[in-house]
Structure 1
Amino acid sequence: MSLHPTLQPYADAWTHSIEAISELVQPLVEGEWNWRTPCPGWSVRDVVSHVIGLDSEMYGDPRPIHSLPRDLFHVTTDLQRYMEMQVDVRRHHTAPEMTSELELMIIRRNRQLRNESRQPGTVVRGPLGAELTLEESMRGHAFNVWVHEQDLRAALGRPGNLDSPGAHIARDVLLGELPAVVADRADAPRSSAVVFDVHGPIEFLRTIRVDIQGRGTLETAPALGPAASFSLDWETYVRLACGRVTAEAVADRVKAEGEPRLTAAILRNFAVTR
């Protein structure tokens, strides 16, 4: 049997992003592995370690037995501690050790995906023992690996792949979070609409409508007289939504119109991942 057609786009996106990451880090000298990335507290080595760790757990390898240092300022939640384990255990690995482990993991995971015969609705284990479907797991993984590819590109000054298969997965994942950002976290007025006009390598116009009960829904139809509207480029949208920059840091790249308290609240709550 082969991979279910519903899952193939996620496998394709992962393959594209993980091979791009491998290509980015193969020529790095030892010192470049220590360069800072947009992820708080994480170097290039740490981001690659995180990606290796994610794929290791997707493959089914046991998690490392390791005690975290007490002075990691960027680790404050249970999820961050969970994720940091795979990172900290590799902090003293050399460049050849990192690239070799990454290449081996790519080979193993590609083989696993070729032989994957489970249905999209199969329940699998996620971080901290959470249960989710195989489709949710693969979608989230494709999203994460593409975002971390972008983190590495930012750190290394090698922009690219903003319209890759992983970018389209990221668009859908981030758009799925917009209703909660606008209606719940920013508490937009009931019976209102907020419009997002995004341009660049990936373009879209989306409206979040908030109904009389305060529930937000994502629509493709434009709204007349929205309570707020935002115009920004795709790269800035991603960096904001993934918590890589603050709204203040990219104020010159975001055009916000509407009631100032509402636009400020939306931008303040825009990050849906870290």
Structure 2
Amino acid sequence: MTVHPSLQNYADAWTHSVEAIAELVQPLVEGEWNRATPCPAWSVRDVVSHVIGVETEMLGDPRPIHTLPRDLYHVTNDFARYMEMQVDVRRHHTAPEMTSELEYTLIRRARQLRNETRSPDTMVRAPLGAEQTLELAMRMRAFDVWVHEQDLRTALNQPGNLDSPGAQIVRDVLLEALPKVVAKDAGAPPNSAVVIDVHGPVEFLRTVRVNADGRGSVDGAPSLGPIVTLALDWETYYRLACGRVRPAAVADRVKVDGDQELAAAILRAFAVTP
């Protein structure tokens, strides 16, 4: 058990999701590793490679020395290039190689978490040579592996765990991005409110309020006169917010009341993951 309670929820959520990932991919035959996932341009193998790669970096392992091919057109910035390195280096690995490396990496990471004695504000490695607090790193690992678990479930047609511990963390992380999406990116007018009503395995209602200066904030109190109300199910919400689907593809699953143009602008800006 981790020393600091503030880290335990993240460790538990991470464990739940990575164990689900290991269980999902263990029985796959070679061809199934090439199935496309909702994560843009990544196959089942690529998603698992990404999980392995980031977890090894959390362990402090050196990054691979590898040159990316020039024809990876989905790699458009330094962050994507950084993440793609751990993926591309494993693109020709066999199914047994993938499952054995995943299992070994998860054993090492679980041991690291059991023996974790650092404080939540300890600075640790982050992408592109940056640093972040241990608490943020563990929170984002819990976020990342739950989203990628869902990528794999979609690709393999094995739905589940939409209400698992990781889902609660994903909800909280995505909600933190809503004020910027509504106020800055979509340009909601000052002194307005936008209501997001989500139902399904994870249910919540949040109001994004834009003040007189155009700054947004989010709270759980309903608004009496919102300029826009978006009602949608949890799966559609996270898939939109994580860039797994475009608004036009799920238009029948999003109910819009109020200013249609602003609603469309909000949905266009809804994807907040890199």
TM-score in same-fold range (> 0.5): yes
Summarize deviations over 1:32-87 as a string: whole Å, max 9, x none. Answer: 00000111211100000000011011111000000000001111111000000000
1:11 lines up with 2:19 in the alignment = no
1:195 Cα deviation from its structure 2 partner: 0.2
User: SS at the partner of 2:72?
Assistant: coil
Give how far 1:125 is off.
2.1
1:198 maps to 198
- How far apart are the structure 2 equivalents of 1:266 and 1:3? 41
Instruction: State the Cα deviation string for residues 234-258 of structure 1 (Å, max 9, x = none).
Output: 0000000000000000000000111
Name the amino acid aligned to 1:267: L
Q: Residue 74 of structure 2 aligns to which amino acid in structure 1?
A: H
**Number of the residue aligned with 1:162:** 162
In 1, the alpha carbon distance for the partners of 2:41 and 2:220 equals 38
Tell me the distance in 2 between the aligned counterparts of 1:219 and 1:66. Answer: 45
Distance 1:54 1:2 in 2: 20
Give the letter for the 1:37 counterpart: T
Counterpart CA distance in 1 for 2:113 and 2:2 is: 8
Q: CA deviation at 1:2?
A: 3.7
Q: Distance in 2 between matches of 1:10 and 1:253?
A: 30
Q: Does 1:151 align with 2:151?
A: yes
Aligned equivalent of 1:175: 175
Q: Say whether the 8 Å CA contact 1:3–1:114 is kept in structure 2.
A: no
Contact kept, 8 Å, 2:58 with 2:125, in 1: the verdict is: no
User: Which deviations, in whole Å up to 9, do the C-alpha atoms of 1:99-155 show, x marking residues without a partner?
Assistant: 000000110000000111111111122111222111111101110010000000010
For residues 143-174 of structure 1, what are the alpha-carbon distances to aligned partners after superposition, in whole Å with 9 as ceiling and x for unaligned?
Answer: 00100000000100001000000000100000
Distance 1:161 1:102 in 2: 20
Tell me, in whole angstroms, the C-alpha distance in 1 between the residues paired with 2:248 and 2:241. Answer: 14
CA distance, structure 2, for counterparts of residue 90 and residue 34 of structure 1: 12
* 3-state SS of paired residue (1:229): strand
Distance in 2 separating the partners of 1:254 and 1:28: 34
| Contact 1:242-1:273 within 8 A present in 2 as well | yes
TM-score normalized by structure 2?
0.99
Matches within 5 A, 1:40-189: 40-189=40-189
Question: What are structure 1's unaligned runs of at least 5 residues?
Answer: none
**SS, match of residue 255 in structure 1:** strand
Structural RMSD (CA)? 0.9
